[in-house]
Amino acid sequence: MSSKAKIALAAALILGAASAALAGSDRDTEDGGFVMPGSLVGVNPAYHPDIFGNPAVAKAYGFVRWPDHTWHARSTRQPWTHYR
């Protein structure tokens, strides 16, 4: 087998593998992951309108919306407990 043929075969295998990997992805949209009740770590409320679009549902998850329209996890601790 000539070196040109080997290069062409390698290129065809690489392109075939790459196109198969791309075709195997059935996720065209980002679903936003998941939300843990009481934690906003890594959560973008824009990706979870079913929770943050309804204040009653957000409250059930332990979140409150402040007057500046930002979401915060509702704290059950007293404000001074983090100093102990």
Could you write out the DSSP letters of every residue in 22-78?
Answer: HHT----S-------TT--TT--GGG-HHHHTSHHHHHHTTEEE-TTS-EEEPP-S-
Structure tokens at 35: 């939300």
Give residue-wise pLDDT tens across range 73-83: 877 554 544 44
pTM for this structure?
0.48
Our count of domains for the chain comes to: 1
Mention every residue, 6+ apart, whose C-beta is less than 8 A from residue 43. 33, 35
- Give residue 18's domain range: 3-83
Mention every residue, 6+ apart, whose C-beta is less than 8 A from residue 57. 50, 51
Q: What would the mean pLDDT of 63-81 be, rounded to a whole number?
A: 74
Q: What would the mean pLDDT of 48-76 be, rounded to a whole number?
A: 86
Length of the chain counted residue by residue: 84
